[in-house]
Amino acid sequence: MSTGVGETVTHEELAENRRFIDAIVETDVMKRAHNYLVRKGQSSSNTMDFKKQLYNIWFRLYHRERGGGQDSCGFEHVFVGETRRHQQILGLHNWVQFYLQEKHGHIDYKGYKARTHKDTPDEDDHVLNLQFSWRGLVKPVAGSFIGVSPEFEVALFTIVFLMSDEKMTSVEVKIDEYVLALIVHRYGRSIGTSYPKLLSSNHQDL
């Protein structure tokens, strides 16, 4: 969990990462993302080259903490979650991991902000700003899509990442009654973090 500790990726883990990329590249949403990036000149039309590009963006290890070894990657940060010196939660923006950690008693859900005039989330909420504690540490706010597929998030944030050279990119979009900021931070050629931030719903700021 902790950054600042160098990681060793085993052959089994490398194979898992590649199987994950192989699987998502076959989905409709990733095919659409790939075609869009090819048209924009950001990706090769060759599928193998695109898979290598995705691997470097999401799974290539880098130094998140100074003085340590290669201790992090975009996928681990966004989809799994990390801590800084066991004192601060980093990342953990994926609803599946949130569900699994809560199921095992590691996460304590503190509250949310979603659409207005509501007391609890329901099946129509697909973006939440959450507050929670994880293994004794509190995250004051974390943006997360709810109920979407991993390939949707990879496709969306890969596009935002590749369409900008800025260290931090924030793209405002409107989906149904939501106004969101899609935020991506880069670590060189890889994603540092990516998440949605709910700005308003039903035309009311949160």
Give the mean pLDDT of 60-82. Answer: 76
Query: Six-digit token pair at 87?
Result: 């004192």
pTM for this prediction: 0.82
Asked if residue 124 has pLDDT above 90, the reply is: no
Asked if residue 142 has pLDDT above 60, the reply is: yes
Contact 31, 159 (CB under 8 A): no
Query: Six-digit token pair at 83?
Result: 């801590």
| DSSP-derived secondary structure letter, 72 | B
SS3 content of the chain, % helix, strand, coil (to 5): 35, 35, 35
Of 182 and 71, the one with more pLDDT: 182
Distance CA 122, CA 92 (A): 21
Rg (CA), the chain: 17
Distance CA 145, CA 189 (A): 24
Give the mean pLDDT of 193-198. Answer: 89
Query: Six-digit token pair at 66?
Result: 């100074």
Q: What is the pLDDT of residue 9?
A: 74
Q: What is the pLDDT of residue 146?
A: 84
Q: Which residues are catalytic?
A: 77, 93, 139
- Res. 4 pLDDT band, cuts 50 70 90: very low
Q: Which amino acid belongs to residue 124?
A: D
Asked if residue 118 has pLDDT above 70, the reply is: no
Asked if residue 155 has pLDDT above 50, the reply is: yes
Of 18 and 7, the one with more pLDDT: 18
Q: Which amino acid belongs to residue 48?
A: M
Q: Which amino acid belongs to residue 155?
A: A
Q: What is the pLDDT of residue 52?
A: 97
Residue 191 β-bridge partners: 186
Single out the residue of 83, 94, 193 nearest to residue 134, CA to CA: 83
Q: What is the pLDDT of residues 87-110, one digit of tens each?
A: 666 777 888 888 888 888 877 776
Distance CA 200, CA 180 (A): 7
Asked if residue 178 has pLDDT above 70, the reply is: yes
Single out the residue of 168, 161, 147 nearest to residue 58, CA to CA: 161
